[in-house]
Structure 1
Amino acid sequence: MIKFFRHIRQRLVKENRTSKYLLYAIGEIVLVVIGILIALQINNWNEERKTNANLNKALKALKTDLVQDSLLIANHLPDVNYQYQLNESLRERMAMPKATVDTLLKITRNEFNPNWNNPIFYNTNAYKSLNDTGLIDVMNDSLKAHIKDYYNGKFYREGMVESITKDYRAKLAQYVDTYTFGSTDLHDQGKLIDSLVWKDIDLAHLAAAFQGISNFKRILFRLTKDEMEYSLSNSKGLIQHIDQNLDAND
């Protein structure tokens, strides 16, 4: 093709047809420019297709994380609610007008279990990958805002739970250094230790210690419930939003 155009140019020069030569040269330049623009456009299309493919893959991974987290929450939330209500029932019994020292001793020695561990480790790899790769910035503004709002709210609540958990564990360490509590799979101190610990205890100190740690546990449960319920409720709408974008890109 190049030899063909070169031959035409040489013939026009030999025939001294300068004006036609100039027009032809300009036309050839225009064709070259058009060819370059077409090549660039094709390259842009290919890059856009690759980006969209990577984005769809990332969104599917994010959806998988959200679904798995929702299943974890649905599995653990009933137990969290039960433990919260149990802690509240013990506090209510202690606050009743007819409560006695025997009530305090029965609850703290046999019924109250201060142990607590956050039961869920969430999947955030897909969200972190979206940010690390910059793919979150190429999606539409509506979905981008939805994802960021969801995780910002989630991380804020997780931070509050983490903070109160540290405070609670400090209270727990002080409590178990002084008192035993009802036997569990992890704690079975036996009758001898139990009887020695509870012999001649300071009832005023026990009452204050129980009030303090049970109140901390109440706050911890409330924050944990709030975080789990937020995640479970709001992840449903986000999953639907992701599905809409995946369907639009198919």
Structure 2
Amino acid sequence: MWRHRSQEELQWKSSTPSIPIAVQGRNLRSDNNLMRQSFLQRFQNPTIFLKISCDGDYILPIVVGKVAIEKLIDPEVEENGVCPDQFQLAKNVVERLDHEVIMVRITERVVSTYFARVYLSQPGKSNIISVDARPSDAINIANRCKAPIYVSKQIVLADAIRLGYGMGRAHNKRPTYDVVLDSAVDGPDLVAEELSMMNNMHIAIKHERFEDAAIWRDKLANLRKSKHEH
């Protein structure tokens, strides 16, 4: 995850240690990093850059408020403080109710506004609930709860930006990425349905109900097959 605070000050921080953000090098790699800095500095508003897990170097810029950036950069201050902020409060409430945040999703874009959902579940249970959230809030909650962030495939194909020489929007080459958790704009929420089936299968395996696990496995395979056909 890349965080951009202002045009004059550029700070990078990774959500996982294995993803290099500012790679030190010489010649070609160094020049490429300078180009990336120049590109990122074009965003004059506070912006969160989501690194897309795919076969190329793609990011998704999401313009947010200054407070959202500050909460992402230094969440430990609020976690250790006497009065928790809204994101720490949300984490505390979820844990108090014996739930956990299993993921957040950037679901769609309407004009220039992105929408997101936060998915919750009880450990060992198959029921999944989701609530609407602003992307900045959802990303902060994911950061506090150490939950993965998924992005709708349509958003990636339409809005993702490829970093490299000749930077620009990736209209001529679509990224091949490994996120399959995606649902149609209209109709049932296939993401929640798929996650529910996976949880049911894992619960059946855990309790050694292997016939039930095989049934859930077949249902899951049929669901994924129907998604690819559409």
Q: TM-score range by the shorter chain?
A: under 0.3
Higher relative contact order (CA 8 A, sep 6+): 1
Q: Which has the larger radius of gyration?
A: 1
TM-score, normalization by structure 2:
0.19
Instruction: Identify the structure with the greater strand proportion.
Output: 2
